[in-house]
């Protein structure tokens, strides 16, 4: 948890984390592209973990993989751009240097850039991490996917603990998480009750 101890200064930490994610994502994918042929597989931990070269033209679990390529790529890249823009705005204007938020937003932006890079350069996202148990395989993923997942979890956790980091009236949207139940108060002051009894 050393990252949570680093004094991030508003959005600057976001750029650092995003750059590290993009670098690791690109290095790992370039190694896979130069080492594996499509659908090649190398067992790392028998019965649990393999490296495999597969591509995904859609989103998670192949969503929209059958749509025309131009509109599919335009859709995913546009969504990634606007999500990154929104998160950067939230972090810069509202997080006030919050380390978990900065780190989480940086992970999400870095992951989105990494996968968008694949869509532009290769027409599909390169996946290579394959975990499985007794023949059940979790859908293959990559470092960018992992960064987005961890970043979204961090951002959600921070938002639930401190809804003020989000723009707008968050308490009106999620009152259960944003507001603490008021302590029980007597319907009538004790002094008044005693005077009534007399």
pLDDT tens per residue across span 58-95: 665 455 555 656 677 778 888 888 888 888 777 766 55
To the query of whether residue 145 is one of the catalytic residues in this protein, the response is yes
**Residue 40 appears among annotated catalytic residues:** no
Q: Are 54 and 39 in contact (CB under 8 A)?
A: yes
Predicted local confidence at residue 31, as pLDDT: 96
Alpha helices for the chain (secondary structure H)? 12-35, 69-94, 99-122, 143-161, 170-173, 175-178, 190-197
- The larger pLDDT score, comparing residue 104 to residue 171, is at 104
Catalytic residue among 25, 50, 127, 130: 127
The mean pLDDT value for 16-31 works out to 95
- Among candidate residues 40, 145, 164, 172, the one labeled active-site is 145
């Amino acid at each position: 948890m050393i990252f949570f101890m680093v004094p991030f200064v508003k959005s600057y930490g976001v750029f650092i984390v995003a750059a590290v994610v993009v670098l690791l994502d690109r290095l790992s994918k370039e190694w896979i592209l130069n080492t594996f042929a499509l659908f090649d597989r190398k067992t790392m931990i028998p019965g649990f973990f393999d490296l495999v070269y597969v591509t995904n033209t859609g989103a998670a679990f192949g969503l929209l993989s059958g749509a025309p390529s131009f509109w599919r790529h335009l859709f995913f890249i546009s969504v990634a751009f606007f999500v990154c823009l929104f998160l950067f705005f939230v972090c810069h204007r509202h997080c006030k240097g919050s380390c978990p938020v900065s780190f989480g937003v940086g992970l999400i932006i870095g992951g989105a850039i990494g996968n968008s890079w694949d869509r532009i350069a290769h027409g599909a996202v390169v996946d290579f991490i394959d975990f499985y148990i007794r023949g059940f395989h979790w859908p293959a993923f990559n470092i960018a996917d992992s960064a987005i997942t961890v970043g979204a979890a961090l951002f959600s956790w921070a938002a639930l603990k401190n809804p003020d980091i989000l723009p707008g009236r968050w308490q009106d949207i999620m009152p259960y998480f944003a507001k603490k139940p008021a302590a029980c108060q007597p319907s009538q002051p004790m002094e008044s009750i005693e005077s009534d009894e007399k």
